[in-house]
Amino acid sequence: MSTVTPSPAASATPSATPSTETRRFEAEVEQVLQLVTHSLYSHKEIFLRELISNASDACDKLRFESIADPSLSAGDSDYHLKIEVDKAARTLTLSDNGIGMTRAEVIDNIGTVARSGTRRFLESLSGDARKDTALIGQFGVGFYSAFVVADKVTLCSRRAGVDAAAAVRWESTGTGEYSIDTFNQAERGTRVTLHLKPEEEEFLEPWRLRSLVAKFSDHIAFPIRMLKEGDGAPEWETVNHAAALWTRPKAELSDADYQGFYKHAAHAYDEPLAWTHNRVEGNQSYTSLLYLPTQAPFDMAFSGREERKGLKLYIRRVFIMDASEQLLPAYLRFVRGVVDSDDLPLNVSREILQENRMVQQIRSGLTKRTLDLLDGLATEQKEKFDTFFKAFGSVLKEGIVEDFGNRERIAKLLRYASTTSTGQDATVSLDDYIARMPEGQDTIWYVTADSYAAAAHSPQLEALKARGIEVLLMFERIDEWVSGHLNEYAGKKLRNVAKGDVALDEAAKKQHEEVEKNAAPLVERIKQLLGDKVRAVKVSARLTESPACLVIDEYEMALHMQKLMRAAGQEVPDQAPVLEINPEHALLKRLAASTDDALATDLALIVLDQARLAEGGQLDDPSAFLRRMNALLG
């Protein structure tokens, strides 16, 4: 939303500011303008949708500000938009009686790319022109799309509450410069006049404009008016539905209606993946229309938790504010849409929202709706669910930690790669895993690592693999944190293969004890050779192919987690690891047979360093490791 305080420049008398000035667009605006005018050709009609969307936002803003200061809209609270054409002058004009802009606001909003959407759009541009064209479709560029069909655009605006004499006129041909001057305008609001390019005369045809409104902007809650055609006296006629879309019965709404509304309400340019539209009646009555996007915004993973946007709060049809942060838990921050409450007071503030009990009720209601929607996709539209999970799965995972009450429901929605599935796509659910468990298995096994390859080839899961036991492969940054909170699902324990003892069946246990007994002298020797570099040395029940691996106690922090925490600058107590060895491996057989103490020490150190490397860990002295390896190979 733009700033709402009138700037000193705008409220000053025209003589106090240079009335007319010519300014250059910011360099980035020029880039956007060029791209837009050259590459939006196949969808040039979207300019109308963009301008209507802005005019509607402007009416929303004024209606909101008028709650606190009714004088702002005094004399005219019939918020509406008008579309007019002048065939002789070849102009198309869209006007609104919304909030309007001061001179400073026009400069800020139209002449710069402070807006996050445009910035993001620019940051995502690559040199590849074809890709760039596709990107424009994804982001849209709002106001600038006017230059796709116009070779000159004139915007006249007077902010509500500001003197008629301080209205502002902005004009540009979209090539580097714009002029801005102060003039007198009787009514408040904004008029955008497009001087159409010669080849764009179709946009002077009322039937064409009406059909575009019907197609893209029917859902706008304010009346969009056009002059009735014919020779009679001029008469305005409303050409859209002019009712807030979410207040209309579901049966009346088409997919196209919902899709069009998504783009307007969420300022989004992708297609919505799915939506859920509901009315709740009771001591808390509200309507919600929630969408899942198809694409993750660029900043979702990073700034996403702090600055959340996309869920608009209305109270009795009046737009109040974006309240994603108050109405949804952080792990559902990808949800877009609107909530319209019947019961909250119009003068509600952000602080009140934070604490209000009614708001908490709405919040848990919306959480449930969203999880229901995801459930439905997971069971009925797997492909869509996979698209969702690819884009937002790592965000959803935060819910395991954040939302204890819904932990089981969220866990049901999680997907992982596994030793049974192929490739690194996350497609295996915990339910899939359980359904495949052999008789007698009561544990869901997983491994955590830095990458798919490190997880899939982790020595720690060799024995489980050899016994045909599936292991979930977790290699997203967040998995370590999340898995620490997910100890149980559907009555089954979840366990990290690198932690504690591996449960063995009776026969395997006997065999393991036998190997242990035979290897006791070897274990003792390695312990002596490695000294305090290790906490303990054990014969492994995990390994079949690798010589050794590092393990940790059941309740100790996973090594991978220790690494992440150190990387984040946190103190983690330095503890020597437990080394598990595979006495069947050639390297250890050689160690056992060696009578040369120097060689045996080198071998023991190589075994330890290898185990560290397999873990994705860092060696204290990589060159010493290489020297030893080379000596062994040479």
Confirm if 258 and 273 have CB atoms less than 8 A apart: no
- Which residues pair with residue 492 across a beta bridge? 489
Closer residue to Mg ion in complex, CB, 53/460: 53
Pick 53 or 324: Cβ nearer Mg ion: 53
Name the residue nearer to Mg ion (CB basis): 35 or 328: 35
Residue nearest to ligand ADP (CB): 142
CB of 156 to ligand ADP, least distance (A): 10
* One residue of 45, 60, 96, 218 binding ligand ADP per CB under 6 A: 96
By CB under 6 A, is residue 115 in contact with ligand ADP?
yes
Stretch that binds ligand ADP, among 98-106, 305-313, 560-568, 578-586 (CB under 6 A): 98-106
Cα separation, 366 vs 276, whole angstroms: 10
For residue 102, which of 162, 16, 155, 54 has the smallest C-alpha distance?
162
Sign of CA dihedral 613, 618, 621, 626: positive
The two beta strands, 536-539 and 578-581, are parallel
Q: Which of the residues 32 through 51 are near ligand ADP (CB under 6 A)?
A: 50
Q: Can you name the residues that pair with 274 across neighbouring β-strands?
A: 292
Which 8-state DSSP code applies to residue 252? G
Using rule CB under 6 A, residue 447 touches ligand ADP = no
241 binds, among ligand ADP, Mg ion, none (CB under 5 to 8 A by kind): none
Count of residues in contact with Mg ion, rule CB under 5 A: 3
Q: How near is the Cβ of 101 to ligand ADP at its closest, in Å?
A: 5
The sign of the torsion formed by the CA atoms of 471, 477, 478, 484 equals positive
HSE of 53, CA atoms in CB hemisphere, 13 A: 23
188 vs 397, which CB is nearer to ligand ADP?
188
Contact residues for 460 (Cβ-Cβ < 8 A; gap 6+):
447, 497, 498, 542, 543, 549, 551
Place of tokens 């860092």: 618
The nearest distance, CB 406 to ligand ADP, in angstroms, is 33
103 binds ligand ADP (CB under 6 A): no
Residue 58, contacted partner among ligand ADP, Mg ion, none, CB below 5-8 A by kind: ligand ADP
Question: How many CB atoms neighbour CB 132 within 10 A?
Answer: 16
Strand 272-280 vs strand 286-293: parallel, antiparallel, or unpaired? Answer: antiparallel
**Under rule CB under 6 A, which residues in 260-289 are in contact with ligand ADP?**
267
Number of helical (H) and strand (E) elements in the chain, helices listed first: 22, 22
**CB under 6 A: which stretch of 54-62, 193-201, 237-245, 435-443 binds ligand ADP?**
54-62
What is the x/- site pattern for Mg ion, positions 233-262, by CB under 5 A?
A: ------------------------------
Stretch that binds ligand ADP, among 109-117, 498-506, 547-555, 586-594 (CB under 6 A): 109-117
Our finding on whether 56 is near Mg ion (CB under 5 A) is no
Residues numbered 140 to 179 that lie near Mg ion (CB under 5 A) are 142
- Is the dihedral angle over the CA atoms 200, 206, 208, 210 positive or is it negative? positive
Stretch that binds Mg ion, among 19-27, 53-61, 246-254, 299-307 (CB under 5 A): 53-61
For position 54 contacting ligand ADP by CB under 6 A, the verdict is yes
State whether residue 91 is helix, strand or coil: strand
Binding-site size, ligand ADP (CB under 6 A): 18
Cα→Cα distances 6→62, 163, 190, 418, 595, Å:
13, 11, 15, 58, 88
Under the binding rule (CB under 6 A), the answer on residue 200 touching ligand ADP is no
Between residues 50 and 218, which has the closer beta carbon with respect to ligand ADP? Answer: 50
- Which residue type occupies 507? A
Question: Which residues from 85-144 bind Mg ion, rule CB under 5 A?
Answer: 142
Stated as kind and residue range, the H or E segment containing 148 is none
SS (H, E, C) 537-559: EEECCCCCCCCEEEEECCCCCCH
Site residues, ligand ADP (CB under 6 A): 2, 50, 54-55, 58, 96, 98-101, 109-110, 115, 117, 142-143, 190, 267
The site for Mg ion (CB under 5 A) is made up of: 53-54, 142
